[in-house]
Amino acid sequence: MADKKRVYTFGDGRAEGKADMKNLLGGKGANLAEMCLIGVPVPAGFTITTEVCTEYNQLGKDEVVKLIKADVEKAIADTEKVMNAKFGSKGEAFPLLVSVRSGARASMPGMMNTILNLGMNDETVKLVAEKSGNEKFAYDSYRRFIHMYGDVVMRVEAAEGEHDPFEMVLDKIKKEKNYDSDADMNVADLKFVVEEYKKVVKNKAGRDFPTDPWDQLWGGITAVFDSWNTPRAILYRQKENIPGEWGTAVNVQAMVYGNMGENSATGVCFSRDAATGENQFNGEYLINAQGEDVVAGIRTPQEITIIGSKRWAERNGTPEDVRKAKFPSLEEAMPTLYQQLFDIQRKLENHYKDMQDMEFTIQDGKLWMLQTRNGKRTGAAMVKMAVDMIEEGLITEKDGVLRMEPNKLDELLHPVFDKKAIEKATVLSKGLPASPGAATGICVFHAERAAELAEKGQKVILVRRETSPEDLKGMYAAEGILTERGGMTSHAAVVARGMGKCCVSSAAGISVSHDSLKIGNKEYKEGDFISLNGTTGEVYDGKVATIQPTLDGDFGKLMLLAEKYTRMYVRTNADTPADAKVAHEFGAKGIGLCRTEHMFFEGDRIWAIREMILAEDVAGRKKALTKLLPIQRGDFYGILKAMDGFGVTIRLLDPPLHEFTPNDDATQKEMAEKLGVSVELVKEKVESLHEVNPMLGHRGCRLGNTYPEISEMQARAIMEAACDLKKEGFNPKPEIMVPLIGTIKEYKMQEQIIRETAEQVIKEKGVKVDYMVGTMIEIPRAALTADEIAQAAEFFSFGTNDLTQMTFGYSRDDVGKFLPIYLEKGLLKHDPFQMLDQTGVGQLVEMACKKGRETRPSIKLGICGEHGGEPSSVEFCHRTGLDYVSCSPFRVPIARLAAAQANLR
Amino acid sequence: MADKKRVYTFGDGRAEGKADMKNLLGGKGANLAEMCLIGVPVPAGFTITTEVCTEYNQLGKDEVVKLIKADVEKAIADTEKVMNAKFGSKGEAFPLLVSVRSGARASMPGMMNTILNLGMNDETVKLVAEKSGNEKFAYDSYRRFIHMYGDVVMRVEAAEGEHDPFEMVLDKIKKEKNYDSDADMNVADLKFVVEEYKKVVKNKAGRDFPTDPWDQLWGGITAVFDSWNTPRAILYRQKENIPGEWGTAVNVQAMVYGNMGENSATGVCFSRDAATGENQFNGEYLINAQGEDVVAGIRTPQEITIIGSKRWAERNGTPEDVRKAKFPSLEEAMPTLYQQLFDIQRKLENHYKDMQDMEFTIQDGKLWMLQTRNGKRTGAAMVKMAVDMIEEGLITEKDGVLRMEPNKLDELLHPVFDKKAIEKATVLSKGLPASPGAATGICVFHAERAAELAEKGQKVILVRRETSPEDLKGMYAAEGILTERGGMTSHAAVVARGMGKCCVSSAAGISVSHDSLKIGNKEYKEGDFISLNGTTGEVYDGKVATIQPTLDGDFGKLMLLAEKYTRMYVRTNADTPADAKVAHEFGAKGIGLCRTEHMFFEGDRIWAIREMILAEDVAGRKKALTKLLPIQRGDFYGILKAMDGFGVTIRLLDPPLHEFTPNDDATQKEMAEKLGVSVELVKEKVESLHEVNPMLGHRGCRLGNTYPEISEMQARAIMEAACDLKKEGFNPKPEIMVPLIGTIKEYKMQEQIIRETAEQVIKEKGVKVDYMVGTMIEIPRAALTADEIAQAAEFFSFGTNDLTQMTFGYSRDDVGKFLPIYLEKGLLKHDPFQMLDQTGVGQLVEMACKKGRETRPSIKLGICGEHGGEPSSVEFCHRTGLDYVSCSPFRVPIARLAAAQANLR
C-alpha cells in the first residue's frame, strides 16, 4: 500500500492529475487538474484520492491519517509556494486559507457541504485583516468558517424545536441593532459574533473550537470521508445507482475571495442554457460576495451577460434604468474580466466538448476559476445541445448519441407541471414514481364513475387502494392514477406505464376508502382536485397547471441517429390498436408483447369469459369461447394492421382464471343472474379458483394445456384476423407466444394446438400467412432447459418480470414489505424489478440464449419484461445478443437510444 | 432399419435371445430364451422386440406389419418344426395353436390380457378334436379363444348396465340346463356356445370373427402394441415410473394344454415364499385346467407341496382325508413331475440368483415351463430373502444391497392392516397416499379435542379440511390424519411423514365441516370409527384391525450392509427431541433440518410470538423474544443431546409471520384480550401481514434481516443450549442455517448477527463450542450465485422443496389444480415434489455444488428437501457429490439403503 500515490497537487499551470483520472480524483479533482494543464487560472491545491476513502472505510481514521500525513504536508507546502502564503502563518507571510470539498466520480449533491476559509484562528484573522487591509472581510470570513466547520465537522445541531444556534446568534444581534442583513454588521459586531460562535461550539460539541490549522485540516478531511456514509449520501447513491465502493476524493484548495471589496466578485456560469439547450453563455454573479451568497438567495444575484440581464429584467418587470444601476451584468460592470471569463468558458467547452457548469471568483481584479464540470440539463436541453454540437462539428454523431441520458427523454414524452404553478403548490404526500408525467384532476374512486365523468369532459384522477384488471376502463379515462398500495411493478404501475399515464403508488400516509381519500387530517371526496407528479412521486393539493410536451425537430434528429447506430431493434408492449399506433409513432418496430387477457375486461367481454369459467365441461366452455372469438379477432385485426409489416407477438391467455371472477357479493349476484345460475354455484366456483400463491398457480400454458379449447380459440382469432388482412393487401406477421413454459412437453402440446388451428384457418380462408410459434422464457426451468425448448420454439421472449420473481423468490405484490428496507440497508443495490439483476437473473437469460442458439441458430430472441425500457438492462440485452427489446410505448424512444448507446460502447 | 433384427426365436434347447436382452425382448421374452438355453423345457415360439413397438407408435400398423412380415412367417415355420405342428393346418399335421402375450422390460400387470389358443377356427378345432381324441377339450379351447380374442383384440364390450355378453351366453345355457359350472357343459353345448360367441362378436364388433389364423395372429400382435398406450397402461406406468418410450415386446409361443385330461395340469409356483421370504418352494396348481383357471378363483386351486397343502388345510379347517382326496398336493398327485418341477425351480433360482415366480403346464404327462421371472414380494420378504441368499452364498453382499427396493422398507416401518380384517372392510374413498401406514380410530374434527380424547386413551383420526401449524398438537395425538384438500407436500402430508404418522389427503368426494365428515351420502360425526391406509390412500368405514411392525434381525443386518457400502451419510429432518431419538434409532447421523418455527406452536408458546408480532418497535419485540428464549433453548438442548456428537442443522425462523396470527374472529378476540390491545389493532395487524403470494413474500432471512433481534434470540438460544451441554460433558455440534438466501449480502448480514451472538455466549458461558454457519440453497438465485455465497457460508443445504417450487413456478399448495392432469396427459413424468427433477432443478443443484466447491473446497453439502428420502433423488445426490441427505425419521432406513445402492452402482 505504501507505493501507491495518494495525493495529487495542482496549481500554477501544472498538475499531477488530469481529466481522465476521474475515478481516482473524483470529477472535481480531475477537472481542477485539467484546468491547470490547459492554462486556466485555478487556485493551487491538492486532491486526496477516492482510494483513500475506501481505505478509510476499511482501516479507520487513525491508520489512514498515518498513511497520508507526509503527502498532505508536502502538498500544503507546494500550495504555500504557489500561492505565496503560509498555512498557519505567524506573521511571516499572508496566511494560506483553504477550502475542503468532497468530490466523487459522479456529482453527489446529497453529500457534504463545503468548508471554506479553513486555517482561520484568532491570530491568522488579524494577519488577514492586516495584510488585506479589510478587517471586516477578515472577521466575516472567520465567523463564516466557524459556522461551517461547526456544522459540518463538529456536528453542531439545533436542539429539537429550536433554530440553528449560529443563526440565533446572528438574529439576536441583528434584532438588537436593527440590522436588515448580515452585511450591515460592523467589525465589532463580527468580533462579538466570532466569540459567541466559539461558545456555541463549545456548548454544543462539548469541546473547544480547534485553533491549530492542522487540526482543522485533518478534521475537515476526515469529515469528508465520513460524509460518504451518511444516510443522506447512501440514499442519494441508491437513487442514482452509484456504488458505495466508489468513495469520494477530498479537494483542498487555496481560498480566493470574492468578498475583498468592490473589485471582487464571485459567480457561477454555464457555457450554454441548461434549461433550453440554447447556445448562449449565461450565469449569475455578485460583487463583493462569497460563492455561497450567490446560491443562498439573500442577495439578488446579477446576470453575467447583457442579454441575460435584459431577459431577467423583462421577466421581473424591472425598468431598464434600475437594471443598469442596481443589477448590471458582469459584461457591463467588468467588461475586461467578462471577456476573460467568456474566453475561458469557450476554451473549457471546446476542451471538454460539452456544456460546462463553472464557478469563478474575482479577487481584487483577478479572475480565478474554481470549478468546471459538465453541466446538468433538462431533457430538452440535452437533446438540443447534442444536436447543435454535432452540427457545429464540436462532437461526432456517435459522441452525441453516447452523451444522452436515455431516461431523461421521459421529460420530453410526458406532460410536466408548469414551473411557476408548482412552486406555489402544497405537497400532500410522496409515493413511488410509478409512471412518469404530471396530472391534475378531481378525485374519483371507481373505475366506472371515472369513465363516466371523463366522458363528460371532466379531468379525473382515479384514486384506488390498488387496481385490478377491472379498473382498466377507468384507468384509460383518467389523467392519472393514485394508489395506496403496490410497488413499481404493481398492476397500476405496469398498466399506467403502458398507457403513458401518470401514476403514483404506495403514497405515504394516505388511506383510500370506497368514497374518500385521507391524507393526514385532510379528506378528499369525489370532485376535490389533486395533482400528481409521476416522475417524482409527489402528490399535490388542488389544481396545478400542466404543460404538454412537444417533440420538436431535434428529438427527431436524435432518433434518426439512434436508428443509424443501433444493432438491436425496439418493439413495444401494447394490447390495443391505439397503443400500437402510439408506439409505432415513437419508432417501435413491432410488438414484443400483446397481452390478450387485457382485452377481456373491456365492456361486456368479461361476461363471456365468466360464462366459460362457469361451464362444467368442454362443450360449455367452447360455447362461451365462441362468443369471444369475433371480439378477439377484431382486436387482433386492429393491432396487426397498426403494425403492418412488423412482427406482432401475441401471448396466449396468461393470468389465473380467478382474476376474471368477482369477489364481492353484489357482482357475484349479478354474475349468477346474468348467467342463469345460483349464487351458491358462483360462490363455489370463485372459492374453488382461490389459490394460496396465484403467482405460482394455475395460469399461463397450464390453462391452455388443461383447457386446450382456450388456446384453440385464441389461435383461431389471431389467424383469422391475419388472413383477413392478407386478403386486403396488408402484410400481417403474427408470432404466437405460449406463456409460462417450464418443460418442452408443455410447449409442444400448445404448439400442436396452435399449428393445427392455424393450418385449418389458412385452408378455410384460402390465403397463406406466415406465422411463428414461440414461447416466453419466464420460469427458471425454461431457461435451464432452453436447449430442449428451442428444438420446437421458433422464438424466445424473456419475461423478466416473472423470471425475476421466481429467480429471487420475490412476489412483486408483496415485496413492499421488505424491499425498501433491503435498499436502505444496502442488501440490494437496485430494485431488481426496475433494473435487471445481471448477476442472477441475467445469468439465466444468458444461459437460455446460449442454449437456445446452440439448438436453433436462427432462433429469434427478445425481452418483453419491464426491463426492456431500462437503459442498463437494454445494454445487457445488447451484450447478450438479443435481437430486440420490447417496452411500453412511452419508453420506446428511451430504449432506442439505450440500444444505440449499447452498440456504440 | 432393414438391417435390424426384429424377431427372436426360441425352443428345443436353443434361442436367439438371452436373459440380458431384457430391454430388447422384455422380461418375459428374455427369460423364455434363457430358460431354453439352460435346458428348461419351454414350448417353442418367438419374441418381437420392444423396438418394434416404438416403430409401431411412430410409423403405424401397416408399415410395421410390412417390416416384420417375413420374419414372423419364418419364426412360425421354425416353431412348427420344433413342435411338430402346423399353423392353420388343413389336416396335414396337428394344428399349431399359439399364445400371444405382451412383455415389457418391467412387469406391467396394468397392460394387456393374454390371448390363448390362437389359430383355432372351424376347421382346426375339428383336427384338434381328432388328433387329441378329446372333442370337449377342443371346443372348450375354441370357445375360450373366441371369448379372449373378442375381448382383447376386437374390443367386444358390455353395453352400459349389461353384463359381459359372452358371460351372458354361458349363463343362459347353464341356467337352461341347470349346470353348476362351465365344466358341466358337453360337446354339443360347447359347439352351440362357439356359434353364439361368433354372433356376439359380429353383433358387437360389427365384423365377422376372423377365421384365417394369420389374420388372427396379426390382430393379436397389433393388439399387444396398441395395449401399450391404453389409459390403464399409461396410468400404471406413471405410478411405477416406467417411461413410455420403453415399449413392449410381443411373445408368440406354441400352446401347451393343462386341460387335455386328468394327466394334464397347470400352475404357478415360487421358489421362496413371496409373503414371508421363507426359503420354501410353494405354489398352486389345478389338474385338467388352463392357466387362467388357477387365478380366476372358480375352482379352488391346490397347493404344490405337501407342507403347503397341510398349511392350507389348517387355515381352512379342511380335514386331512378331505384334503388328501379332493385337494392333494402336486407332490402327492404327480410325484415324478413334482420332482422335475422342484429341480427346475432350484435350477432357475440358482441361475437367476433370485426368487423365481414361474408358470408351468403339464400336458399329457409332460412338464412345460411357460414363464419365469423374479418374483414380486413384500418388504419383509425382500429383506429376508436377500439376507438369506447372502448367507447361503447365492449372492454377494453388494448384490443383496442392490437388489432391495428401498421404498418397500416403508412396509416394515409402519403399522399395516390385518390381512383378513381388510378383506371385509368397505372402501369409502381414495385419496393421496400422503404418509404411509395404517390407522383406525374415531373421527375428531379439532386438534385440541383430538389431544384431549387421545389423552383419555381414545384412538382418534384427525379429520380436517386442511391442516395448519395450529393443528400440530392434534396431529401428534392422532393415529392418522385425513384431509379434504392438499397434495403430497401439503402441510398435513409433510408433517405426518415427519411424524411417521399415517395420512390420507385430498380424499375424493369427501367434505369436511367443523363437526362432520361427509362421504357420498354417509355422514360421520365425532366418535364414529373410520380407518385409513396411508400407503394406498384408501379410507375405510369403521374399525379395521392393524398390526404393528417389528424390525427383526434381518432388517438390522441389511442396515449394517448399507452402512458398509455407503459413501454418503443420512441425516434426519426433526424438530423435537422425540423425533430426533426415533431417527437416531433408525441410523440417522445427525439432523439435516430442524425447523425452529414448529416449536412455536406448542402450548402457550404461540402467545409469545404473537406478542412479538404485535410489538410496535425493536424494544417491544425484544421483550417478547425474551420470553421465547428459554423455551427455544430448552428445545435445542434436548435435540442436541439426542444427537450428541453429530451435526445438528438448525434453521432460523422461516415462515411468514402471518402463519402465527389467527384468522378467525374468536381467536383474534382472545389475542386482543390476552395481549391487552384492541381487537381492531389485532385485525389491522393481521390484515397488514396478509400477502398475495406468501411463498414469495416476507419470510426466511428477509424476516431476520428486517427484524435482526429474532435471529439474535435464536442464535443465543442455540449457543446457550450447546454451551450448557458442553459443560455437562456432551459434544454438541450446532450448525446454524440461514434460510431463503438469494444474495451474499443477505447471508452476511445474518452471519454477522449469529457469529457476534455466538462469540458473546461463548464468552459468557466460558466454554468453547464449535459451531458452523451456513445456508439453505432454495432460491434459484442462490444456486446461480453459489460461488459468491460460498465465500462466507460454511455449508449448503439444498431445500429442494422450495427450489422446486421456484424453478418450476409451481406452488405446492395450488399444484393440485393442474398437476394430476399433467401427469395424466404425460406432460410430466413424475411429480417433481416427490421425485427430484434432475434436468431442471438438479441442474441448479449441480451448479451450486460446483460453484460452491470452487470457492470453498471444504464446503459441506447436503439436501434437506422431501427428496432426501426418495431413492432416485438420493442416487442423484450421490452422483452430484453431496456429503449427506436428510429426510424424515421414518424415511431414514430407505435413504440409507438408497445411498448404499447409489454408491455400489
Residue-level pLDDT at B499 = 78
More confident residue, B431 or A351: A351
Residue B876 corresponds to which cell in the numbers above? Answer: 442423484
Helix then strand count (H, E) for chain A reads 37, 32
Asked whether residue B755 carries a pLDDT value surpassing 80, the answer given is yes
Residues of A within 8 A of B702 (CB-CB) are: 818, 822
Where helices occur in B84-179 by DSSP H, the ranges are 122-132, 135-152, 165-177
Mean pLDDT of B207-234: 92
Say whether pLDDT at A842 is over 60: yes
> Do the Cβ atoms of B698 and A745 come within 8 Å?
no
Dist CA A85 CA A87 (whole Å): 7
For position B494, what pLDDT does the model report? 75
- Average pLDDT over all residues of chain A: 91
pLDDT attached to residue B111: 67
β-bridge mates for residue A358, sequence order: A269, A372
Q: Under DSSP, is residue A662 helix (H, G, I), strand (E, B) or coil?
A: coil
Residue A753 has pLDDT above 60, yes or no: yes
Confidence (pTM) = 0.80
Q: Does B816 touch chain A (CB under 8 A)?
A: no
Dump the DSSP string for B648-672: EEEE---S-GGGGS--SHHHHHHHH
pLDDT average, residue stretch B129-139: 87
Judged by CB atoms closer than 8 Å, whether chains meet at B802 and A809 is answered as: yes
Asked if A864 is an active-site residue, the reply is yes
Check whether A491 has a pLDDT greater than 90: no
The single-letter code of the amino acid at B326 is K
pLDDT of residue A187: 93
- Reported confidence tier of residue A899, pLDDT bands at 50, 70, 90: very high
**Per-residue pLDDT, A552:** 66
Complete DSSP assignment for A16-36: S--GGGHHHHHHHHHHHHHHH
Residue A239 has pLDDT above 70, yes or no: no
Q: How far is residue B720's CA from residue B706's CA, in Å, rounded to a whole number?
A: 24
- Alpha-helix residue ranges (DSSP H) falling in A519-599: 553-564, 577-585
pLDDT bin (cut points 50, 70, 90) of residue B521 is confident
- Which of B745, B814, B837 is nearest residue A696 as measured by Cβ atoms? B814
A-chain CB neighbours of B745 within 8 Å are: 826-828
**pLDDT tens string A30-53:** 989 999 999 999 999 999 999 999
Check residue A422 and give its pLDDT. Answer: 83
Q: How confident is the model at residue B413, as a pLDDT?
A: 85
Q: For position B414, what pLDDT does the model report?
A: 84
Q: Which residues of A touch B808 (CB under 8 A)?
A: 742, 779, 781
Find the closest chain B residue to A802 by CA distance: B809
pLDDT in tens, B530-581: 999 988 889 999 999 888 776 668 999 999 999 999 999 999 999 989 889 9
Do A745 and B828 count as a contact with CB atoms less than 8 A apart?
A: yes
Whether chain A has a CB inside 8 Å of the CB on B467: the answer is no
Nearest residue to A342 via CA among A401, A253, A270: A270
A387 to chain B, closest Cα gap in Å: 43
Q: Is B814 close to A839, i.e. CB distance below 8 A?
A: no
Task: Report d(CA B653, CA B657) in Å as an integer.
Answer: 9
Distance CA A788, CA B83 (A): 51
Active-site choice (B269, B723, B864, B887): B864
Minimum-distance CB partner of A839 among B698, B705, B785 = B785
Q: What is the dihedral of CA B99, B104, B108, B111, to 10 degrees?
A: -60
Averaged confidence pLDDT in chain B: 91
| Of A565-569, A655-659, B288-292, minimum mean pLDDT range | B288-292
Q: What is the pLDDT of residues A48-62, one digit of tens each?
A: 999 999 999 999 999
pLDDT grade for B5, boundaries at 50, 70 and 90: very high
The percent of residues above 70 in pLDDT, for chain A, comes to 98
Q: How confident is the model at residue A799 (pLDDT cuts 50, 70, 90)?
A: very high
pLDDT at res. A436: 85
CA–CA gap between residue A382 and residue A410 (Å, rounded) = 12
Instruction: Give tens-digit pLDDT for B573-591.
Output: 999 898 899 899 899 999 9
Least confident among A844-848, B510-514, B690-694 = B510-514
Contact yes or no for B503/B413 (Cβ under 8 A): no
Q: Which residue has the higher pLDDT, B704 or B241?
A: B704
More confident residue, A638 or B261: A638
A493 vs A471: CA distance, rounded Å: 13
The listed range with the strongest mean pLDDT (A616-625, A651-660, B669-678, B837-846) is B837-846
> What phi, psi does B533 have (nearest 5°)?
-115, 100
Residue B874's pLDDT is 97
Burial (CB count <10 Å: 0-12, 13-18, 19+), residue B180: exposed
pLDDT digits (tens, 9 = 90+) for A357-390: 999 999 989 999 988 888 888 888 999 999 999 9
Whether residue A235 is predicted with pLDDT greater than 80 in this model: the reply is no
Q: What is the pLDDT of residue A764?
A: 97
| B844 chain-A contacts, CB cut-off 8 A | 780, 784
pLDDT tens-place string over residues B59-83? 999 999 999 999 999 999 999 999 9
Is residue A873 over pLDDT 90? yes
Alpha-carbon separation of residue B462 from B441, B453, B516 (angstroms): 9, 11, 11
Confidence of residue A110 (pLDDT cuts 50, 70, 90): low
Report pLDDT for A195.
Answer: 95
pLDDT at A85: 92
* Residue B328 backbone phi and psi in degrees, to 5: -65, 150
Which of the four pLDDT bands, split at 50, 70 and 90, describes residue A442?
very high
DSSP-derived pairing of the beta strands B460-464 and A529-533: unpaired
Per-residue confidence (pLDDT) for residue A48, from 0 to 100: 97
Average pLDDT over residues B274-279: 89
- Whether B499 and B480 have beta carbons less than 8 Å apart is answered as no
- Among residues B147, B269, B414, B491, the one annotated as catalytic is B491
Q: How many residues are recorded in chain B? A: 905
Residue of A nearest to B802 (CA): A809
The CA–CA distances, whole Å, from B794 to B640, B797, B848 equal 19, 10, 13
Closest Cβ–Cβ partner in B706, B808, B814 for A693:
B814
Query: How confident is the model at residue A836, as a pLDDT?
Result: 97
pLDDT the model gives residue A102 = 92
pLDDT digit string, tens, across residues A159-183: 877 888 999 999 999 999 998 878 7
pLDDT tens digits, one per residue of A560-603: 999 999 999 999 999 889 889 989 989 999 999 999 987 787 77
ipTM over 0.85: no
Residue B45 has pLDDT above 90, yes or no: yes
Instruction: List the 838-857 stretch of B: residues with Cβ below 8 A of A.
Output: 839-841, 843-844
Joined grid coordinates for residue A272: 450554454
Radius of gyration of chain A (CA): 32
pLDDT (average), residues A134-153: 91
> How many beta carbons lie within 10 A of that of residue B555, not counting itself?
20
Mean pLDDT, range A782-811, rounded to an integer: 97
Q: How many CB pairs under 8 A join A and B?
A: 175
Q: Using alpha carbons, list the distances in angstroms from residue B375 to B107, B351, B359, B395.
A: 10, 14, 11, 16
Residue A275 three-state SS: coil
**Residue A407: pLDDT band by 50, 70, 90 thresholds?**
confident
pLDDT at residue A450, as a whole number: 92
